[in-house]
Structure 1
Amino acid sequence: MANEPKNRSYPQGLDCAGTGAALLLSACSGGDPATEAEASDGSGSAATVTITDNHGEIEVPVNPKTIVALDNTTFETLSEWNIKLAAAPKGVMGSAWPGYTDDTKVADIGNHREPNLEMIVAAQPDLIIGGYRFGDYYDEIKKQNPQAAVIEIAPRPDRDVFTELERQTEILGQIFNREDEAKALNETLDTAIAGAKAAYNGTDTVMAVNTSAGKIGYIAPEVGRSLGPVFPALGWKPALEVEGATDNHQGDDITVEAIADSNPDWIVALDRDAAFAAADREAGSAPATELITKSEALKHVPAVREGHIVVLDPNFYLEEGIQSYTDLFNQLQKAFAA
């Protein structure tokens, strides 16, 4: 099966002649003076920087002392940069970031369904990176934490996810004085997208699915969760297009017969249960590859017959950040090139 384990390696300090970083914020200049406050901490770096988050312009401390992060799409970058957190929602972090979840000094906010927002207040943070699964609590968090800069920088709906992730990375680079590293992450994503696009022959049909609790769901091109945006980015030819498809996190209902009738050359699967240990899988759940290959209805479709099945990294559903997509595009390049 065309399924590769995670093996991340990202270049550092690439020069400013590269592609992909010239988005909404300047990464090569070390910070746009027009966006920085004039205050200084005496070390030559700005004490604050004005960024544009999902709500508008906001002044944010540079290298803040006390940080709370709620947005899963930022955790991998924060972890790579060794950014310490005072509190985080350990209930939605799985085992992807043990440096945070295993640290008893990092207060547990719980999950987005029943968060303990008092843990944020108790931390007295300078910066709160909210949004994503916690978007509904934005106003409440701002009201409870008037001393903090509360920002939301997760990819915005109805915008190109990959441009949005690069924007997010640039903003984090400005806040934490990691602009070179941010630029390198963005360029690496651009390179991975270009490689995966070049490996696709332009004619094979692709079906994206979500598996959870023993069921297979349909992930629609463009609008579907996680894999939807990959279709336009790589120019994939959909095996099936369903009118009225949604971005449901479990995928839209579909029968295996409908998948079989679409006769896909490739099946790319997001296994929502894979982020948890096998022993913790819900009753009736099975790995995505097993669900697909052992289905009687699917055994004759080209994707199954030729072994053209790509299953995303187990932690993809938890992360969905720039590193996850970079890994995915590299994985797709290897699979389609082979």
Structure 2
Amino acid sequence: MKNKLLLLAVVVIVGALLYYCFNTGNKSEDVSAAAGETYKLEYTPTLQAYGFTEPVVLKAKPQRVVSLVHTPVLALYEMGIKQVAVPQAAMLEWPADLVKDAKLLNVSMNSNFDIESVIALEPDLVIVGYQSKDTYGKILDREKIPVYYVDAGHVVSYESIKELTDVLIKAFGQHNAGAEAITDRFNKLEARMAEKRQENKGQKVMVLQSAPPRHYIQGKDGTLGSMLDMLGYENVYQNNKMVLIDLEQALSYEPDLLFCVGGSKTAAEHQQVMEEDFAKNPEYWNNIKAIREHEVIYLPIKYVATAGINVIDNINELIDIIDAKKLKQNG
């Protein structure tokens, strides 16, 4: 009898424990489900100035992102966010394992772009240039697809890229090694630029963006011009709008250093193109001190426009190129 009673007591106790654990576990899961983790994409100061104020809130981390603009692609990639489509890029090559799985979209001709091909990919987030809110944005809204708008265009400033990257890190990069690495790279670059600003103070530069025989002059709001401005150089061309160079006025600029950028894939190719053009009219071009004294730095197409966080690598490489030229001069 004692054994039967003892066995019954054990059964009751074990049953009570199982009931408690089961119900406690269910309650914990219910609380977690009710809380519902969300991912919030705030708008950057640049976009807020354009009237975008309400954040985009996602109920789950996106698994099928479509980027119609270049700027967010590399940051999302490095944070491990799955992208099923990205825009074609002329300024750089996307990582091989990104384009292996992601469709390449030809978005350069906006009037011919088929937004239905994006909808067919069943995205859970589409990132669009703010200029397309009333076109692609309306169609995507109608399909109940979350849309996040970003700064876009031929020139997207370093500050705008950094703002967007900060938003993406805040939304998707918590406890994410890729996000931490991006932040570290930005911090190291900004420390390096601060040092170079002191070193380059007072030096004058001129920036030519060329497709000979056409030569455009770029101010500090251009892609390359803005990089040089952040490195402490004074741009001889004070107008922010890039225009065809005024040959007569250019003779009065007297830059210490001339930067030439264009559509060539490599710096050596662009140097050849430019020097061939200079040789056609040496009487003019040699009147510009920087050309006459060979104070010219030639750069490839990737300095025509940026594609997001690759701006970090581009500026670091630009600093290295300038330092190498200075070292050669002093040597």
Q: CA deviation at 1:99?
A: 2.9
Match of 2:206 in 1: 207
Q: CA deviation at 1:252?
A: 0.3
Cα distance change of structure 1 residues 157 and 123 upon mapping to structure 2, 3 Å threshold: closer
SS of equivalent to 1:319: coil
SS of equivalent to 1:145: helix
Match of 1:89 in 2: 87
Task: Name stretches of at least 5 consecutive residues in structure 1 with no aligned partner.
Answer: 1-38
Match of 1:138 in 2: 133
Q: CA deviation at 1:173?
A: 1.4
- 1:62-90: CA deviations, max 9, x gaps? 63111011222223333444543222232
Q: CA deviation at 1:253?
A: 1.0
Task: Name stretches of at least 5 consecutive residues in structure 2 with no aligned partner.
Answer: 1-30
Q: Does 1:312 align with 2:299?
A: yes
- 1:155-187: CA deviations, max 9, x gaps? 7999x9333222111112123324423422321
Identity %: 18
SS of equivalent to 1:73: coil
Which amino acid in the other structure matches residue 170 of structure 1?
D
Which amino acid in the other structure matches residue 253 of structure 1?
L
Match of 2:73 in 1: 75
SS of equivalent to 1:152: strand
TM-score (norm 1): 0.68
Q: Does 1:274 align with 2:269?
A: no
Match of 2:28 in 1: none
Cα distance change of structure 1 residues 303 and 170 upon mapping to structure 2, 3 Å threshold: same
User: Within 5 Å, which residues of 2 pair with 1:14-29?
Assistant: none
Q: Does 1:260 align with 2:251?
A: yes
More divergent stretch after superposition (75-84 vs 259-268): 75-84
Greater percentage in helix: 2
Match of 1:33 in 2: none
User: Within 5 Å, which residues of 2 pair with 1:123-162?
Assistant: 123-131=121-129, 135-146=130-141, 147-154=144-151, 161-162=157-158
Of the three residues 225, 238, 243, the one matched with 1:241 is 238
Q: CA deviation at 1:50?
A: 4.4
TM-score (norm 2): 0.69
Cα distance change of structure 1 residues 168 and 105 upon mapping to structure 2, 3 Å threshold: closer
Q: In the alignment, is the contact (CA less than 8 A) between 1:197 and 1:234 conserved in 2? A: yes
Match of 1:299 in 2: 286
Cα distance change of structure 1 residues 98 and 330 upon mapping to structure 2, 3 Å threshold: closer
Highest RCO, 1 vs 2 (Cα 8 Å, sep ≥ 6): 1
Cα distance change of structure 1 residues 125 and 110 upon mapping to structure 2, 3 Å threshold: same
Q: In the alignment, is the contact (CA less than 8 A) between 2:41 and 2:148 conserved in 1? A: no
Match of 1:169 in 2: 165
Q: In the alignment, is the contact (CA less than 8 A) between 2:65 and 2:125 conserved in 1? A: yes
Q: Does 1:217 align with 2:207?
A: no
Cα distance change of structure 1 residues 77 and 97 upon mapping to structure 2, 3 Å threshold: same
Cα distance change of structure 1 residues 164 and 155 upon mapping to structure 2, 3 Å threshold: farther
CA distance in 2: counterparts of 1:56 and 1:217, whole angstroms: 36
